[in-house]
Structure 1
């Protein structure tokens, strides 16, 4: 009786045991893994925008600002091809203006461009602080800078997380088989994509730092990145 209760608790805790008519002789186990690794790359995300009365003026302003940024960064050793644009757009810009009677009206103020770009540098690159100082010196309407840590190539750690998730499923299956006094047969199915696999998820927003007053004395110590994965494996039991 104690053995049966123990098996039931194990099943409830981490994995499921199928009792349906078509699956009475299988065991379904969910394996999980978390692999931590130190980042090797710093990604600087830069968002800049300006408002001008006319479309031509705002377009010219965006071009001049980008040229200025590229020239300044080149002087710090950053190549033009390292500066990547993720989004650029120009929109009409309106503001809600309060009238004398206390109500508000939507008033056209001109045109605004938004330019989102990023630069990736080695985490040990000594010029990171100098690059940040370039953006501190920009005299434009609005600028936002955030910093993120990542791996330049994460294929190896992804594979490791997947393998560890499978091994976790296998160890759980062996434990429950031993406790329940049965043995594992061949694998019936491996479900890898539809069970909440989040191997690709590295949430930059959790690691963003506001760097509006950056300094050349760049000494941030990043936390390790965490890669998570799950895999569901179904075995025949005998």
Structure 2
């Protein structure tokens, strides 16, 4: 009796294994998810430069201007975490025409403005504080993490739809995902609306709108392998 029961269990197990698909083939696809958003933040890159014959004087001039710039930014409510020195440089230059040397002091500062309505006032104030070069601006969104999550879901749905279409053309079906990988982009941030390096010779006039943030893309790409039945 026990032997008969054991044979019956083995028979049922064999039948169940035969009926359970065990796919080894996969269909590999990529998916892309895009979310469009209007930027609500801007990063301004400015530079302070001074030149002269005396290194101490040049450095002191630069330091005074930078101090004025930082004081102005604090007065505008810009937090310390949003102001970063990119580099400080003091170099010796040879003038071929006069056969003499001069010195140039440079300091680059990156400023993140989290309220675009303050952009004009901040830019004008920076010019009045003594900055003499604007290296460019770049836009971003405070909702980037949440929007990336949305883009990932869209990318997965896009990949699933592609895999389903491939499988149905072969009268087959897709199963669970065997592997998922996200395409790593070098720069996943927003592209600058403009980027320029210009010498500022005069103060900007107020009452004008000079910033056009436009719209930026949050894009995610994934590679997915689905089991094929």
Question: TM-score normalized by structure 2?
Answer: 0.74
Structure 1 spans left out of the alignment, 5+ residues: 1-22, 100-106
* Number of residue pairs matched by the alignment: 202
> Partner of 2:45 in structure 1?
45
- Residue 113 of structure 1 is matched in structure 2 by 105
Superposed CA offset, 1:164-223 (max 9, x none)? 11111011111221222101123221122xx4546723223x433678564432433321
Taking the aligned partners of 2:173 and 2:100, their CA distance within structure 1 comes to 74
8 A Cα contact 1:148 1:209, kept in partner: no
The within-5 A match list for 1:1-238 is: 25-74=25-74, 77-79=76-78, 81=80, 82-95=82-95, 97=96, 109-125=101-117, 127-137=118-128, 142-192=132-182, 195-197=183-185, 200-204=188-192, 206-208=193-195, 212=200, 214-219=204-209, 220-238=211-229
Three-state SS of the structure 2 residue aligned to 1:152 is coil
Which 4+ stretches in 1 moved above 6 angstroms? Answer: none
Query: Distance between the aligned counterparts of 1:122 and 1:165, measured in 2?
Result: 29
Could you tell me whether the CA contact under 8 Å between 2:50 and 2:61 is conserved in 1?
yes
Structure number with larger C-alpha Rg: 2
What displacement does 1:27 show?
A: 0.7
> Relative to 1, partners in 2 of residues 1:165 and 1:109: Cα closer, same or farther, differing over 3 Å?
farther
What's the offset of the Cα at 1:98? Answer: 5.5
Q: Do the aligned residues in 2 keep the contact of 1:37 with 1:226 (CA within 8 Å)?
A: yes
The runs of 5 or more residues in structure 2 that have no matched partner are: 1-22
Indicate conservation of the 8 Å contact 2:48/2:66, yes or no. no
TM-score by length of 1: 0.71
Cα 1:108–1:180, aligned 2, differ >3 Å: closer, same or farther? farther
